Structure 1
Amino acid sequence: MADNTTVTVLGLGAMGSALASAFVKGGRPTTVWNRSAGRDAELLAQGAVRADSVAEAVRAGEVIVAVLLDHASVHETLDPVVADLAGRQLINLTSTAPEESRELARWAAEHGIEFLDGGIMAIPPMIGQPGSALLYSGSQTVFDQQRDTLELLGSTEYFGEDAGVAALYDFALLSSMYMMFNGFFHAAAMVGSAGVSAEAFGERAAGWLTAMAHGLPEYGRVIDSGDYRTDVQHLSFQKAAVDAIARASTDAGVALDLIAPVKDLIDRQVAAGHGGLAYPRTIEELR
């Protein structure tokens, strides 16, 4: 069944184009549509078929993959053709927040549309290559029936019927990424004051951050246990370290926009009497 599944991709930005290309290369009859013209030439050369309207695109596919700008654009694109979507399978790979994904699932159910939501843990050049991972939640029927097709894009993982869970994982993982990148930017600005190139520092930082990342499961175990007692590197110890980082940053002429919130989190916990507890206790300040 999957080998003959007809797929429609709505939205041909960098990611949508990469997904459509993977479907075509995987032998799926693929129809593509984009609001603005001129983005489908390479896909057409590969064997995709252009639809001149959303309605035409939807009618061409058993599976409709939406890769649009945001939640509002999904409704703007699909509301006018909701009757054509009835009985079809809609897979939303637009970056929608968890509650937005849940709203789309309710909307789809009201109109007889099977709905699966997904989060893409890859950049466009990674699609269809090792390392590309996509997370899904929503209709298990859609996931199970289309798994072979979805695996053309990357590894797949299903998180249950709650359509918002895949997006929750997606944005949680992305938040970790952005925090890491911005920590590097701050650090590169610090050493840049001594003439160190950001590229050279990046080589050093990559090894350090990779080594530190191995400690994340243990941090998670401590958080899940709720037992933050420790004899080493407690919050008071961390406060001294982060205070020193802030002073070093100021001395290097680097703004404290990124490190100041970390300092504030630690300061509040120490002031509240938690200075003897372990650093993972910081999550309680965020909850």
Structure 2
Amino acid sequence: MVDINRAASRIAVIGTGAIGRAVVHRLLGAGRDVAVWNRTESRAADLVTAGARRARSVREAVSSSTLILLTLTDYPAVEQCLAQLDTDLSGRTIVGMYTGTAGEARLAARRVTSLGAQYLDAGIQASPETIGTDAATILYSGSRHAFEQHTATLELLSRPRFVGESPEAAAVWDLALFGVWYDAQLGLLRALDAARAAGIDVTEFARTAGSQLGHVVTAVSATVSELHQAAYPPGPANLTEHLTVVRHLIDLRAGRPLGDGGLPEVAARLDALIAAGRGGEGLTATVG
């Protein structure tokens, strides 16, 4: 077993894809002692030339370091690496830097903590070229102690943000933000598709669509306030009026290539709320 005090400044990066390589270069540039491991050994050769230590196995990389960054593509790759660890990892922190689900974050945390180590899950809101700049944000969740212990190192990579002590918080935050973009972008594409099919000038239509999207952005603070207060004023329309529009949209989108965007489920929720005597409330009530 490696002396933890002697290994305190050592970092291991497991996985040398685009993000992993950017992380290694940034850490080396800051004078950190970095071990690297990649399943295809030749892909880490230039990093070793740049000053990284080559680890011959995941076990060797982990045992020689106290901060281990799993910069891998997905949870199955993380799971394969964690399965190779079967010794006491007390005093170490393992960070899962991959895009995964809440359930996967919980599984990774369970495996890591069962070996005595601390676990952080990471949501990477950055591209490889932004690693180490203020344009990069990386979300972390799990062990607050581990985050505080390694903040100085994490700050070399991005603006680190601790978002919760549940292991899955960073994954949920990250995926929910992706969802905001997908919902908005696909909603715009559905609207442009419907307008084009009706012979409408999509350039002219897009100008009004931009204004409509702006209303959503402007109302973010008010929507959050409604959720906090559990009060749902109707705003521009109440649930009964919204239901009429939603049903029209379901009809408009029928048979279109991007589908209806889940509006039948929304209509069912509106129906249930109206039946419960809440038809005069606003749209935020659907998740209240």
Same structural fold, with TM-score higher than 0.5 when normalized by the shorter chain:
yes
Query: Secondary structure in 1 aligned to 2:87?
Result: helix
Matches within 5 A, 1:233-252: 233-250=237-254
| 2:182 alignment partner in structure 1 | 178
| 1:115 alignment partner in structure 2 | 119
Equivalent in 1, 7, 11 of residue 11 of structure 2: 7
**Residue 271 of structure 1: CA displacement?**
5.2
**Residue 280 of structure 1: CA displacement?**
0.6
Matches within 5 A, 1:23-172: 23-40=27-44, 43-44=47-48, 46-83=50-87, 85-172=89-176
Query: Secondary structure in 2 aligned to 1:157?
Result: strand
The TM-score, its normalising length taken from structure 1, stands at 0.79
Q: 1:201 to 1:33 in 2, by over 3 A?
A: farther
Contact 2:11 2:65 in 1 (8 A): yes
Matches within 5 A, 1:247-286: 247-250=251-254, 253=256, 255-258=258-261, 260-261=263-264, 262-270=266-274, 272-284=276-288
Contact 2:12 2:34 in 1 (8 A): yes
Q: Structure 1, residues 25-78: CA drift from partner, whole Å, max 9, x if none?
A: 333222222223443355445443433322232234321111224334323212
Query: Secondary structure in 2 aligned to 1:256?
Result: coil
Q: Structure 2: how far apart are the matches of 1:204 and 1:45?
A: 55
Query: Secondary structure in 2 aligned to 1:81?
Result: coil
Q: Which has the higher helix share?
A: 1
Q: 1:211 to 1:276 in 2, by over 3 A?
A: closer
Q: 1:139 to 1:255 in 2, by over 3 A?
A: closer
The unaligned stretches of length 5 or more in structure 1 are none
Contact 1:122 1:132 in 2 (8 A): yes
State the percentage of identical aligned residues: 30
What is the Cα-based RMSD across aligned positions, in Å? 3.3
Amino acid at match of 1:220: V
| 1:189 alignment partner in structure 2 | 193
The TM-score, its normalising length taken from structure 2, stands at 0.79
